[in-house]
Amino acid sequence: MNTDVVVVGAGPTGLLLACELALAGVRTRVLERRTEPQSHSRALSLHPRSLELMDQRGLLDRFLPLGRTVPNWHFAGLRTQLDFSALDSRHGYTLFLAQARTEAILEERAHELGVEISRGYETLGVSQDGDGVEVETRVPGGGTETVRGLYAVGCDGGRSIVRRAAGIGFPGTDETLTGMLGDFAVVAPQPGALEAARARGVIVAPLEEGLTRFVCLDPERIRVPAREPVTLEEFRTSLTGITGSDCGIAEPRWLSRFGNATRLAESYRSGRVLLAGDAAHIHFPAAGQGLNTGLQDAMNLGWKLAAAVHGWAPPGLLDSYDGERRPVGESVTENTEVQTLLAELTLVAQYERPAAALRKLLDQLLGMPEVNRRLADQVSALGTRYPPADSGADPLVGRRIPDVGLTAAGSQATRMYELLVGGRFVLLVLPKDPDLREAVDTGWGPRVTAVTADTYDEHPDLDGVTEVLVRPDGHIAWATRTTDGGTRRDERAQALAAWAGTPSGRS
């Protein structure tokens, strides 16, 4: 084998997946068609759950100083915004950060972990047999190379070569609407022009290096195919038609058109080939969910794929990636279609009045805390809960663990997420259990960190819980509320075997 896992695509999803695999001791090679990192940034936001994931790996301090935190977020361009600050998280905000910065941080981390990143390698095809996969590539300077691994993961975007080679269908809807974005070095608006632009639905966002991004949907241009290049004159004309002013834009650094084609892979896995990120799901960039969904795909897949490579994955663990993440992809594509439809109705003259009435009604609904919270949970991904395999499982199973502060026996105060930095399971016992450490160390010690908490922050999710097994991605695999020591030990052993595999030294 050339490597254990071949990751095709060095965008945020592919890079985070490579980091997760390398953290778990898996030899990983990333193949990227581009010879240099992407300089333009289509995505600009890291939502709360993505920030929690970076926190769980000790990387958050690399991101926060480079971006700007925003406590509220938009949904379908409605005036009433989603309140992320009210969510149950230490990171109740979106971090406004260019995608290029996110990629640079993750690439730096990947290099630290020993990931091999091969740029200028264009994937031509993928084949698989019972023992592994072969990825055929065109290498810099001409010629080809076949890279063999145990598994391959396509993180190569909506036009994924890996997905097509694996024969995985990509059903959905074709593009019916397009918008434009532009990053400009010069913006010289007349007084009040930017405020007027924002009031008419144009996104105006300051970027790094003195650039300003404008994003607009022009009723006169929404049927132009995404493949048609955007010109500066077109952008000026559209801004003027929408807002009455071209806002003094000049010196465009990047102009692009984007569409609302929406597709979801029929499966995220075919044998030894898996998909993540845009290779598995594409949609209109409503509420900035695409990059974040890809990062969360990578976090879910990384430890499961590592378990398969190392040979300790329990039956069905790798298949659970599709079972857990594809419904999330379906939910994201559905809510972006809803947002796009509302935007389109607003732009079509014959629907102007009913669309305005609908927007007014939705604004009123978003003003209700419970409605706002539900949508904020969905867009932020903090509300993601993976379905438990056992219908009788504790209600916590599948949910993300809260980042409670705690004091472990004989240790200084810490946070739950700090215990996840190494990418291992965490078995957290809230009442003291003197038999816990021995029980874990003699069987699952290399995969599980066992912690008994002397004290911990009160949290409603943990009321009555006596023991909890937390997955490497921060979701809860098992929880119990029983205080009977013998019963807990039996349940614990079953949970560890179901998630962390056969204990070391046993067949």
Q: Cβ contacts of residue 405 below 8 Å, gap of 6+?
A: 413, 414, 415, 416, 456, 457
Domain that includes residue 158, residue range: 5-44+98-173+262-347
- What pLDDT is recorded for position 19? 98
Q: What CATH number is associated with residue 496?
A: 3.40.30.120
Measured from the Cβ of residue 251, the count of other Cβ atoms closer than 10 Å reads 11
Same domain, 11 and 102: yes
Same domain, 253 and 324: no
Same domain, 156 and 200: no
- What pLDDT is recorded for position 507? 45
Question: Quick one: DSSP state of residue 416?
Answer: G
Same domain, 130 and 29: yes
Whole-model pTM?
0.96
Pairwise CA distance, residues 246 & 216, whole Å: 12
Pairwise CA distance, residues 428 & 470, whole Å: 8
Same domain, 26 and 122: yes
Same domain, 25 and 131: yes
Look at residues 347, 382, 413 and tell me which one is the last residue of a structural domain.
347
- Asked if residue 473 is part of any domain, the answer here is yes
- Asked if residue 505 is part of any domain, the answer here is no
Pairwise CA distance, residues 392 & 129, whole Å: 38
- Asked if residue 185 is part of any domain, the answer here is yes
* Residue (of 286, 290, 260, 261) closest to 203 by Cα position: 286
Same domain, 199 and 210: yes
- Low-confidence stretches of the chain (pLDDT < 50) are 507
Same domain, 284 and 413: no
Residue 176 corresponds to which tokens in the numbers above?
């019916």
Residues found in the chain: 507
Question: What separation in angstroms does the CA of 178 have from each of 181, 205, 212, 258?
Answer: 10, 19, 20, 5
Measured from the Cβ of residue 385, the count of other Cβ atoms closer than 10 Å reads 16
Query: How many domains is the chain built from?
Result: 3
Same domain, 430 and 461: yes
User: Torsion angle of alpha carbons 383, 384, 389, 393, nearest 10°?
Assistant: -20
- What pLDDT is recorded for position 214? 96
Residue 145 corresponds to which tokens in the numbers above?
């190379």
- Asked if residue 359 is part of any domain, the answer here is no
Q: What CATH number is associated with residue 216?
A: 3.30.70.2450
* Residue (of 44, 14, 1, 35) closest to 110 by Cα position: 14
- Asked if residue 417 is part of any domain, the answer here is yes
Look at residues 218, 239, 259 and tell me which one is the last residue of a structural domain.
259
Same domain, 244 and 133: no
Same domain, 152 and 113: yes
- Asked if residue 49 is part of any domain, the answer here is no
Same domain, 433 and 489: yes
Look at residues 298, 317, 347 and tell me which one is the last residue of a structural domain.
347
Q: What CATH number is associated with residue 323?
A: 3.50.50.60
- Asked if residue 450 is part of any domain, the answer here is yes
